[in-house]
Amino acid sequence: MSWQWYKQVVLPEATTTMVVQDFVDLWARHQRDFWDASTDFPDLTPRLPRMFLVAAAPKKFRAGAFGQQPWPRSSPRRWGVFFEAALTAEIWSDEQMVPLIKLEGPQPDEFVLRGAEAKRLARWWVVASLMEEQRSAGHSKAVGTAVWSYMVDENGSIPVVGGMRWFGPWGRDVEAQHLAKDRLQYLEPMLLAVSAWNEDAAVFADRLLPPFFQLKLRPGRLPTIAQRPQREMAS
């Protein structure tokens, strides 16, 4: 795959860039018709505070009842997701009011938690930003589109608060919500890669020159999807 498009992305220092093509290909050929980013990946514990996972589009993907279909020409041919994670204990005080969702103006009482309770429910706060390759006239450029925000508890799961998963668009305006919903499929294989890494179903390889690495499927081992693994998680 060409690397030119994402070299335009300005990333913070100490960001690790990894190619996760194996997991995009696995996601594309999996028999699952519908994915739920907040429940299908059993351990989303951040392995690094900043990482950029990149891949190229598969040749085919499963399109629900239509089965395997060619990758749509209107969809990006390459994309990446930049993950930035922070420990909630380091960013929230016990008395701070933490919003469950991000709204403009004052937060209604039902949408906020006191910091101490929020930290008990969520160990990590993760912001995931999608970068897509856009091509025109033979040139390509990286464009930021959707951004998601989610929490991860001590078990690697996205916690449930008020009957809802603590996962959603980072922005609350109409365009941000539309982009987050429309582009969710590009986040799913990246979350699959993170979860596979945590349950030792992925191998970190340095077959490309640093700072570009690969995260590959471990031979003979498939990651768990939609249920918690029965084996011990990697720390």
Alpha helix positions (H), the chain? 21-29, 88-91, 115-121, 174-182, 184-198
Report the percent of the chain where pLDDT is more than 90: 53
Is-cis flag, bond preceding 211, omega within 30? Answer: yes
Q: What string of DSSP letters covers 175-205?
A: HHHHHHHHTHHHHHHHHHHHHHHHTT-EEEE
78-87 and 50-56 beta bridge pairing: antiparallel
State the Cα–Cα distance between residues 3 and 53, nearest whole angstrom: 12
Each residue of 76-106: pLDDT tens digit? 899 999 999 999 999 999 999 898 765 444 5
Assign 3-class secondary structure to 130-159: EEEEEEECCEEEEEEEEEEEEEECCCCCCC
Strand ranges in 20-99 using DSSP code E only, listed in sequence order: 50-56, 60-62, 68-70, 78-87, 97-99
Residue 138 scores a pLDDT above 50: yes
Answer whether residue 231 shows pLDDT above 50: no
Q: Does residue 232 have a pLDDT over 50?
A: no
Angle between helices 184-198 and 21-29 (to 10 degrees): 110
Confidence band for 198, pLDDT divided at 50, 70 and 90: very high
pLDDT-based confidence at 230, cuts 50/70/90? very low
CB 169 within 8 A of CB 145: no
Nearest Cα neighbor of 113 from 95, 130, 131 is 95
* The predicted structure's pLDDT at residue 81: 97
Instruction: Provide the pLDDT confidence category of residue 55 given band limits of 50, 70 and 90.
Output: very high
Question: Domain locations in the chain?
Answer: 5-217
Q: What distance in Å separates the CA atoms of residue 81 and residue 77, rounded to the nearest whole number?
A: 14
- For the CA atoms of 80, 81, 84, 88, the dihedral, rounded to the nearest 10 degrees, stands at -160
> What digits encode the pLDDT tens for the residues 67-77?
778 888 888 89
Q: Which of 84-98, 107-121, 135-149 has the lowest mean pLDDT?
A: 107-121
